Amino acid sequence: MITNRIRIDLSSDTATRPSRGMREAMAAAEVGDEQHGEDPSVNALCERVAGLLAKEAALFLPSGTMCNQIAIAVHCRPGDEIIAAEGSHIIDYEGAGSAALAGTAIHAVQAEHGLFTREAFERAVRPASRKMPRSRLISFEQTHNRGGGRVWPLDQLREVARAARERGLAVHIDGARLMNACVASGVPARDYAAVADSVWLDLSKGLGCPVGGVLAGARDFIEEAWAWKHRLGGAMRQAGILAAAGLYALDHNVGRLADDHRNAARLADGLRAVAGVVLDPEVVQTNIVFIDVAGTGLPARAIAEELARRGIRIGVVGPTRFRAVTHLDVDADDIDETIAAFAAVVETLKTGSVHAA
Ligand SMILES: *Cc1c(COP(=O)(O)O)cnc(C)c1O
């Protein structure tokens, strides 16, 4: 495997390693039995996130996927339908868990970079009918991953959420990168969270923790979520070691997400100057950059292999498409090195001289 020689990993913001400071906080964590609600660090993290999101309660879970799946299972009954933007994580990357675990279908709404309008919602929502599934839940991704890290503007989020509520749907926010949205927009997390019955944030992405997500909502929602946490085997023991990383991240790693956004913009500017390379979407708002190399005539896979040889990893997401994600283990120099390497690789592959090198 060449992966152990990767020095610059832009494949995902999950590539972050816990820093020295975070590891020290983890080592010093007070712990107890989390299943019994007796882990002081986990309890402190849950209180902290509930406060941040202005919800009554919160629940520490091993992953963001489990946050989504538990929220869906609590909100929905078998036969219900969820409305979500095409390309949502719950549609593409969770093993159809919403069908397998909660017995629900998902209605994928055509979306622009993960965002859709009130009108698109109105077209998707089901009328009361004996034949049709019952629309029960709307799920927003903030930011939208496959939409290129796009931020739902607060007004648009409120408008669509209000329409959903009027039709009797519950509202969920997949906030894997909620703090990226907050840092990019200046909107407090609680303002986005206010539209939702359930909302979570991932600790293991740009916040730099090794493990975990925190799901928040009303007290009775979290009580039911606890039952699912046990059911799925997500209840832990001395999980305070992990929660301490989360508390450390909320203290140290939120404001610096602005650096990631600057680095993503820098990467975008550098790559769009390479002949045959376009960005899709054009606009980079947060830490995710989608790159299309169709214009170079080269397959993404070939470019990725050459970059890996040079110690750089970018995610291949299609025959000619890449996704690059910036995070706290990548700095501006790494970005400049990536741009230079990308340009050089495209040039050498085009002239066919790479294998002679
Ligand atoms: C990563 C991600 C998840 C899942 O989080 P995990 O912690 O990897 O399980 C869910 N939604 C979105 C938008 C994500 O990017």
pLDDT tens, per residue, the chain with 357 residues = 555 589 999 999 999 999 999 999 999 999 999 999 999 999 999 999 999 999 999 999 999 999 999 999 999 999 999 999 999 999 999 999 999 999 999 999 999 999 999 999 999 999 999 999 999 999 999 999 999 999 999 999 999 999 999 999 999 999 999 999 999 999 999 999 999 999 999 999 999 999 999 999 999 999 999 999 999 999 999 999 999 999 999 999 999 999 999 999 999 999 999 999 999 889 999 999 999 999 999 999 999 999 999 999 999 999 999 999 999 999 999 999 999 999 999 999 998 755 544
Residues whose CB falls within 8 Å of the CB of residue 293, separated by 6 or more in sequence, listed in order: 276, 277, 300, 303, 320, 321, 322, 346
> Cα–Cα distance between 133 and 128 in angstroms, integer?
9
Are 301 and 345 in contact by the 8 Å Cβ rule? The answer is no
CA 176 – ligand 1 centroid, Å: 5
Say how many Å lie between the CA of residue 181 and the centre of ligand 1: 15
Among residues 289, 258, 262, 85, the alpha carbon closest in space to that of 185 is found at: 258
The candidate with the shortest Cα–Cα distance to 286, out of 316, 325, 315, 336, is: 325
Return the residue whose CA atom lies nearest to atom 14 of ligand 1: 176
CA distance 339 to 52: 37
Q: Which residue has the tokens 């750089």?
A: 312
Say whether the peptide bond before residue 143 is cis (omega within 30 degrees of 0): yes
In short, whether 174's Cβ falls inside 6 Å of ligand 1 is yes
pTM of the entire predicted model: 0.96
Query: Can you tell me whether residue 290 is helix, strand or coil?
Result: strand
With the most atoms of ligand 1 within 8 angstroms of its CB, the residue from 205, 287, 317, 327 to mutate is: 205
Give the DSSP H or E segment for 45: helix 40-52
